[in-house]
Amino acid sequence: MRAVVSAAVLALAACSSAREPPLVFGTGQATEVEIPASPPKTLPPMSMNDIAVAYVKLVLALGEIDPGYVDAYYGPPEWAEQARALHLDAREIERQSQQLMVRLLAAPAEDPPADPELGTLRKGYLKNQLGSLSARAAMLNGRKFSFDDECLALYDVAAPHYSEAGFEAALKQLDALLPREPGSLAERYNRYIERFAVPKEKLQSVMSGAINYAQLRVRTHLELPRTERFELALVGGKPWSAYNWYQGGYYSRIEVNADLPVTISRVVELASHEGYPGHHVYNSLLEKDLVRGQNWPEYQVYALYSPQSFIAEGSADYGVELTFPGRQRLDFEHELFDLSGLDTGQLETYDRIRQAAESLGPATIEAARRYLDGQMDAASTAAWLQHFTLASPERARQRVQFFDHYRAYIVNYAYGKEMVRRYVEKHGDGQAGSDAQWRAFVRLLSTPRAPSELD
């Protein structure tokens, strides 16, 4: 729990087609918990559900002054109204989150202890989330964090460091695989992969078909709620490639940014990452097993800049290879080539190039660290991304915009994927896509495990 304690110290130093049944938490008293503007000097005991409801309201209160902080909320509307009415500033939210941490540490792990292990995990999850909430409030109040400290404080992870030399092998491999054409390696790479972009007029149908097929694949391995569903929309003008907006009731709105070319490999990745078994499945399982199954209110809100995102993004990225291991991905890409009207004769070479380029993913973490720590400006960061991740100039600028907007959030992708893979292989087995791996994966998604507990 080293990272959990460190995050806390850093902070303290500074809709479905079928109707779902109503949610009831505890005795009903929890739904009436208020966050007083001036808490009493003595802190009365609180149940875990009372603490969870107070946490939800603090997250909602921070969302009022930090647009985008609340990624999803499907709890009682009156809680959001209460949080809005309090008009708490960042300093007060930081103070109250620290007080709530004290109450949490004094509370029993479970109320009553129906499942001691699950109760312990729940308490650890809330401790992480509260430490992150306090740190985010401190940032809004002017506290400055280095990239590494921000990763620890917000996401409960010690961010890895990467050397430029570590990416040279992949760059050399790509140089050998790509057609011999004029221009830099990045220019040659982007010219090549953009030949395999889905025509814009076909993107909606190809993307929708890919998500639906990923759904069928996932349903053979786990039980999803009967009423779960999604809608797909193409959008533009965003700093991200795609986004899942979970609405509650096992329903998601998936948006795909169509500003830049969407290649066949990205179609596969986005179908899995945003849909199945990614964000849509993760949120649906949490709602089914923890919100409805355990009557835990804290999962009705998703604080974006929090340890939960490390699990969410890491599992969504890892879910691609879990759902489409080895040859199965190649077969899926073949079908998508056909749907898009592309030459399937190029598929084998395209897939080898795609795999070689994947190993460059962690370079974005290093780019973000250097940029956010002031070692590189926007222009040199974009140039660095073009060289070490082979991003096009347009995509490199979009990534810098992502760093500006989401800061250290980038650690949750490549490093999150690596940590989730380790967990699944340790608690499952080493055979990609096996039943044992799926059981370990589902266990991770449906329990309140913190990033520092991925062992």
Provide the 3-class DSSP secondary structure of residue 372. helix
- Token reading at 364: 């974005």
Number of Cβ atoms within 10 Å of the Cβ of 277: 30
- Token reading at 220: 């053979």
Q: What is the pLDDT of residue 41?
A: 57
- Token reading at 118: 């699950």
Q: What is the pLDDT of residue 110?
A: 63
285, amino acid identity: L
Q: What is the pLDDT of residue 453?
A: 86
Q: Which residues pair with 197 in a beta bridge?
A: 263
Instruction: Phi first, then psi: give them for residue 40, nearest 5 degrees.
Output: -65, 160
- What pLDDT digit, counting tens, does each position of 378-418 carry? 999 999 999 999 999 999 999 999 999 999 999 999 999 99
Contact 237, 215 (CB under 8 A): no
Q: Which residues pair with 231 in a beta bridge?
A: 253
Which 8-state DSSP code applies to residue 21? P
Query: How far is CA 295 from its chain centroid?
Result: 23
The half-sphere exposure of 387 on its side-chain side, counting CA atoms within 13 A, is 11
Instruction: Compute the Cα dihedral for 366, 368, 369, 371 and give only its sign.
Output: positive
69, amino acid identity: Y
CA distance 438 to 443: 8
Measuring CA to CA, how many Å separate 112 from each of 23, 116, 125? 19, 9, 18
CA distance 116 to 23: 23
Instruction: Compute the Cα dihedral for 105, 111, 116, 121 and give only its sign.
Output: negative
Q: Which residues contact 428 (CB under 8 A, 6 or more apart)?
A: 434, 436, 437, 438, 439, 440, 441
Instruction: Phi first, then psi: give them for residue 431, nearest 5 degrees.
Output: -90, 115
Number of Cβ atoms within 10 Å of the Cβ of 247: 16
CA distance 264 to 268: 7
Contact 24, 75 (CB under 8 A): no
Q: What is the pLDDT of residue 43?
A: 61
Q: What is the pLDDT of residue 419?
A: 96
What's the burial of 27, exposed, middle or buried (CB within 10 Å: 0-12/13-18/19+)? exposed
Picking from 451, 441, 412, 407, the residue whose alpha carbon sits closest to that of residue 128 is 451
Q: Which residues contact 250 (CB under 8 A, 6 or more apart)?
A: 16, 20, 224, 225, 227, 228, 229, 284, 287, 288
Q: Can you tell me which residue has the tokens 């995509």?
A: 395
Instruction: Phi first, then psi: give them for residue 257, nearest 5 degrees.
Output: -80, 115
CA distance 404 to 393: 17
**Segments of the chain scoring below 70 in pLDDT:** 1-44, 109-114
Q: What is the pLDDT of residue 108?
A: 74
Picking from 86, 87, 88, 56, the residue whose alpha carbon sits closest to that of residue 72 is 56
